[in-house]
Amino acid sequence: MIFVTRKAQFSASHRLFNPTFSEEQNEATFDKCNNFFGHGHNYVLEVTVKGLPDPLTGYVIDLKQLKRILDERIVDKVDHKHLNYDVDFLHGIIPTVENLCVAFWQELAGHLPSGELHAIKLWESDHNVAEYFGAPIEIPRYAIGQETQRQGVTL
């Protein structure tokens, strides 16, 4: 088995909060990541595909195709966006690096022309990273509404 990894980068903002928590619970749980207007990261996404090389090309997956798929299915949708509000497939989830890995997997699953999706690794910073291997996980989705209002500002 051969493992091939493609990296992609994007910049995005998010706010970590649970709308079922009180403001105090959100502050205690998410601290500065609960900033009402969000905060940003320069993310590095690594997607690993596994398989046997095609005998005619030597590729597990054509990396040009993988780049196009990553751009179309993920990067173009999240780059320079607010992950809580601007990205349809993330609507209602708490956009932790863990949940983003699962959501990105769901966006890619079934869309590779060859090989098999093996892992998604997402670097939120030089110090924080999550890695997901596709085990079934149900990400809770919360209604977004009143909890996005504060001091006359609605997002």
- Are the beta carbons of 103 and 37 closer than 8 angstroms? no
Q: Which of 14, 101, 107, 124 is catalytic?
A: 124
Identify whether 14 is a catalytic site residue: no
Identify whether 101 is a catalytic site residue: no
Q: Which of 23, 27, 80, 111 is catalytic?
A: 80
Q: Which of 33, 91, 98, 118 is catalytic?
A: 33
- DSSP three-state, residue 153: strand
- In a 10 Å sphere around its CB, with 0-12 CB exposed, 13-18 middle and 19+ buried, how is residue 36 labelled? middle
Identify whether 82 is a catalytic site residue: no
User: Looking at this protein, which amino acid is placed at residue 43?
Assistant: Y
User: Nearest-CA neighbor of 13 among 99, 69, 79?
Assistant: 79
Q: What residues act catalytically?
A: 33, 80, 124
